[in-house]
Chain A
């Protein structure tokens, strides 16, 4: 057995890195699997770029030692990633089981371990706009409104310090444009706030409760009025009896 040359070591390292990345990228892919992916993989493993790197001079065949080391590196990188992933999954059995490797499923996390919306990257949070998560959409809009406020403040400071009137007008135009955009965001927030199903239901419920209370109050008022009428009738009867009593005496 011969000692590995620098070329073989380099080829192994390159293969390892590419093997690792291939697993990583395949794991996080969003698109559907297709036959074309195979072509891409072959291109990565044995494409002209790799052949050129490992073959020494252009036109000559690939160095067999380097090619072998490259392929071993590819497999090692791929398997190493898989091993690390299995290790992580086994270590966190409360959150994952081996089904993760079948379709990526995970157990419902403890609320204490959930990512807060603020902790998620902005790009991930934008998914909320498609998913219909109104609370998160509201937060995104609020954040954008606050960001515009910050921008406007900065621009106002810049404008105040700008001696050139033409540039000041340019800054002013940008501020106005931002203010308009902010107005649109405010409008979107209002529409979002008041079209939420829970808000619509709350409006209906409060109105109904208010109306019920008013009706109940009216009934009690009517009871008092009925007592008043009874008092009047008794008063009238009383007056008649009083007159009769006087006449009888």
Chain B
């Protein structure tokens, strides 16, 4: 009978393992990470928009362009398009563009910090790591059971072998339980400690994203203005193409205007707050977190779609 005790204890322990919210953390991290990606996409899209605006401006102005420092292979990396001083249409947003570029590293550090934090959350709740632990523990327990059986064969003590096997199973469960508790404790402490810094950092981060999109808006508006001016001329060439481009830009502008940054901010804070509340009680409060994380994903989605559309849209 005593041989069954360790096995029964091992079975009972499996139910005591704390829940480490790995799937919820993953969803939360994905949405927050999407914002970081959105920033990168916004910077890229703004660069593309800036180039397209410049091309549109140069086309409207028809300045004589030339490439500098391209004569030799050694100097080819310094090859640069030289644009003479504008004569007709000015590049009115060049200074604002330079300002934005100078500010980018400031917010970059904040995004990096958020990225490191969610990377840590992901790492500590990684379900694959838990599976690997289970696998290795199972191998160890199997090895011990086999060893004890072999030793029993040699020493003819079958009863002791079953007991050793049961105890090793119990030991395996205890190891897994202790690591799960450690994992849960690390998660709980980190989420609580990060709540205030997270609350402090989210508003400036979202504001920064909003400013980036405003920069894009300026570039797109600049191109739209050039097209509008060109279309007013009675002898404009390829009128239809230009008109279609103007309509497409109009759609871009509407899309940019539809992103609700206030909601993104609110949902980000709510999702993290839900994590804090859930890890406080360890009674698997999955519902509120899942809802908060879904709301966050919904809030971020239009921004991502806008940026994807702007980045992959056909030349306008």
Cβ-neighbour of B137 out of A207, A214, A227 (below 8 A)? A227
Question: Are B190 and A179 touching (Cβ within 8 A)?
Answer: no
Question: Are B124 and A216 touching (Cβ within 8 A)?
Answer: yes
Q: Is A94 an interface residue (CB 8 A)?
A: no
Interface 1/0s, chain B 95-136, versus A by CB < 8 A?
Answer: 110011011001101101111111111011010010011001
Secondary structure at the B interface, as helix, strand, loop or mixed, is: helix
Q: Is B204 an interface residue (CB 8 A)?
A: yes
Question: Are A231 and B139 touching (Cβ within 8 A)?
Answer: yes
Cβ-neighbour of A210 out of B106, B120, B144, B225 (below 8 A)? B120
Q: Please, how many angstroms separate the alpha-carbon atoms of A199 and B93 in the complex?
A: 29
Binding stretch for chain A, among B69-77, B149-157, B277-285, B304-312: B149-157
Question: Are B190 and A209 touching (Cβ within 8 A)?
Answer: yes
Question: Are B198 and A206 touching (Cβ within 8 A)?
Answer: yes
Instruction: Known contacts A176-B92, A228-B136; decide if A194 and B120 are in contact (CB<8 Å).
Output: no
Q: Please, how many angstroms separate the alpha-carbon atoms of A174 and B126 in the complex?
A: 56
Binding stretch for chain B, among A62-70, A97-105, A237-245: A237-245
**Smallest CB-CB separation from A181: which chain B residue?**
B96
Cβ-neighbour of A231 out of B119, B123, B136 (below 8 A)? B136
Question: Are B117 and A207 touching (Cβ within 8 A)?
Answer: yes
Report A-chain residues with C-beta under 8 Å of the C-beta of B106: 190-191, 194-195
Instruction: Known contacts A183-B95, A202-B200, A206-B113; decide if A190 and B129 are in contact (CB<8 Å).
Output: no
Instruction: Known contacts A220-B182, A238-B143; decide if A227 and B175 are in contact (CB<8 Å).
Output: yes
**Interface size range of chain B in the complex:** 35 or more
Q: Is B211 an interface residue (CB 8 A)?
A: yes
Question: Are B194 and A209 touching (Cβ within 8 A)?
Answer: yes
Question: Are A186 and B100 touching (Cβ within 8 A)?
Answer: yes
Q: Please, how many angstroms separate the alpha-carbon atoms of A172 and B204 in the complex?
A: 31
Report A-chain residues with C-beta under 8 Å of the C-beta of B136: 224-225, 227-228, 231
Report B-chain residues with C-beta under 8 Å of the C-beta of A172: 225
Instruction: Known contacts A212-B190, A217-B129, A225-B136; decide if A186 and B117 are in contact (CB<8 Å).
Output: no
- Using a CB-CB cutoff of 8 Å, which residues 270-305 of chain B contact chain A? none
Q: Please, how many angstroms separate the alpha-carbon atoms of A143 and B147 in the complex?
A: 76
Question: Are B200 and A180 touching (Cβ within 8 A)?
Answer: no
Q: Please, how many angstroms separate the alpha-carbon atoms of A223 and B136 in the complex?
A: 10
Question: Are A193 and B151 touching (Cβ within 8 A)?
Answer: no
Question: Are B154 and A248 touching (Cβ within 8 A)?
Answer: yes
Q: Please, how many angstroms separate the alpha-carbon atoms of A178 and B283 in the complex?
A: 55
Report A-chain residues with C-beta under 8 Å of the C-beta of B133: 220, 223-224, 227
Cβ-neighbour of B190 out of A204, A213, A218, A227 (below 8 A)? A213
Report A-chain residues with C-beta under 8 Å of the C-beta of B183: 216, 220
Instruction: Known contacts A176-B90, A189-B211; decide if A210 and B116 are in contact (CB<8 Å).
Output: yes
Question: Are A244 and B143 touching (Cβ within 8 A)?
Answer: no
Q: Please, how many angstroms separate the alpha-carbon atoms of A131 and B218 in the complex?
A: 33
Q: Is B255 an interface residue (CB 8 A)?
A: no
Q: Is B23 an interface residue (CB 8 A)?
A: no
Cβ-neighbour of B214 out of A176, A186, A214, A223 (below 8 A)? A186
**Smallest CB-CB separation from A142: which chain B residue?**
B207
Most buried by A among B102, B119, B137, B201: B201
Report B-chain residues with C-beta under 8 Å of the C-beta of A180: 92-93, 95-96
Q: Is A167 an interface residue (CB 8 A)?
A: no
Question: Are A199 and B190 touching (Cβ within 8 A)?
Answer: no
Report B-chain residues with C-beta under 8 Å of the C-beta of A227: 133, 136-137, 139-140, 175
Q: Is A41 an interface residue (CB 8 A)?
A: no
Report B-chain residues with C-beta under 8 Å of the C-beta of A46: none
Q: Please, how many angstroms separate the alpha-carbon atoms of A155 and B115 in the complex?
A: 41
Report B-chain residues with C-beta under 8 Å of the C-beta of A241: 147, 150-151, 154
Most buried by A among B107, B117, B118, B186: B117
Cβ-neighbour of B119 out of A179, A196, A214, A221 (below 8 A)? A214
Q: Please, how many angstroms separate the alpha-carbon atoms of A22 and B99 in the complex?
A: 50
Question: Are A224 and B190 touching (Cβ within 8 A)?
Answer: no
Question: Are B201 and A210 touching (Cβ within 8 A)?
Answer: no
Interface 1/0s, chain A 1-21, versus B by CB < 8 A?
Answer: 000000000000000000000
**Smallest CB-CB separation from B199: which chain A residue?**
A202
Question: Are B110 and A203 touching (Cβ within 8 A)?
Answer: yes
Q: Is A139 an interface residue (CB 8 A)?
A: no
Q: Is A234 an interface residue (CB 8 A)?
A: yes
Report B-chain residues with C-beta under 8 Å of the C-beta of A216: 124, 182-183, 186
Lowest 10 CB-CB distances: which A-B pairs, in order? Answer: A213-B120, A183-B96, A210-B116, A202-B197, A217-B123, A234-B143, A176-B92, A210-B120, A193-B204, A231-B139
Q: A180-B92, A201-B200, A245-B154 are in contact. List 13 more A-B contacts (CB 8 A).
A: A179-B218, A180-B96, A191-B106, A194-B204, A201-B197, A202-B198, A203-B109, A211-B120, A213-B117, A214-B124, A217-B126, A227-B133, A231-B139
Sample of 17 A–B contacts (CB below 8 Å) = A176-B90, A182-B96, A189-B207, A191-B106, A199-B204, A203-B197, A204-B113, A205-B197, A206-B114, A209-B120, A209-B194, A216-B183, A217-B126, A221-B132, A231-B139, A235-B146, A245-B153
